[in-house]
Amino acid sequence: MQEITTQAYVTPRLLADIGGTNARFAIEVAPQRFERVQVLACNAYPDLRSAILAYLQWIQQDSLCSDGIADAAIAIANPVVGDIVSMTNHHWRFSIQELKRSLQLNTLLVVNDFTALAMALPHLSVSEKVQIGGGTAQPAKVIGLLGAGTGLGVSGIIPCGQRWIPLCSEGGHVTYSPVDKLETRILERIWRDFPHVSAERLISGMGIELLYRVIAELSDVELNMPLSAAEISQHALDGSCALSHQTMSLFCAMLGTVAGNLAMTLGAGGGIYIGGGIVPRLGDFFIQSAFRQRFEAKGRFSAFLAQIPTFLITAQYPAFLGVAAILDEHLRDQKCS
């Protein structure tokens, strides 16, 4: 792939990674050099523009951006089709062109967050990922990506000469398929409330909370109060709640099933990467879970899946790498045209 130089940009670039819960911002001062990273709660701002202005006001307290910002790129947890972006898991809605005009930018790119994360994969160092199970990545082969957070993101990248082509996917909304009697019972219960049960409905923050409630109901366990996904995860990790442990174990196994489906669909010889805000925090719990066993459990094609490696992304802000690469490629293409 293209060699990365370290020469500083004439004007720093604004980067953002917008999820359903948090908005992450950074200034890229040179290729893959990110400064002034700040995480803002989405609920603290009425719209994206307000969050961006709050961040810009914060960084303008020093001389880093004394000449202002000309170019920006935003990765957002939502489909990006046309000019209007209306977030699926948050209330923010905006026009790309109007936001560009109001911020007085020369360039504003808005892409799906998992498209950006997919473009980060070739730039991850060895220390920024952990392999789960066996398999060996094949060079110049398709790479798949999925990750659970507020929702379930899915993407991938296809090699094309010296470049990668990202997939704009909404694969998190595919229909979930159960693999055993317990998952069938769970699905039958959820069907009462949701005629269509997507993978995201189960494999996400809201999915953890839903699984916890349904497993309790099927087990005749009375819940004193609802727990958040973070609380369920913590109880599973510290071993203080058997129901939480069962919930998170099933969550990891279900993620393995969907990851295996993605690997089969893409023919992902370059591997499958797991990102998002939930799994990287599970640590050894995830590594020792049924994830990899379920990933490979594809009957006659189990041997095929066994050859494909799975990696857990451990980089703190990996989406910045991808959205920066997309912006840089766009600006280079503009310069050459």
Three-state secondary-structure class, residue 51 = helix
Q: Which amino acid is at 319?
A: A
Rounded-to-10 torsion of CA 172, 173, 177, 182: 80
Locate 15 and state its tokens: 């980067």
**Structure tokens that stand for 116 in this block:** 């950006």
> What residue ranges in 168-314 does DSSP mark as E strands?
272-275, 310-313
Q: How far apart are CA 209 and CA 247, in angstroms?
A: 9
Beta strand spans in 49-125 (E): 71-76, 84-86, 93-95, 107-112
Provide the annotated binding site for ATP.
Answer: 16-21
Q: Which residues are annotated as a binding site?
A: 16-21
282 neighbors 248 (Cβ within 8 angstroms): yes
Please give the radius of gyration of the chain, using alpha carbons only, rounded to the nearest integer. 21
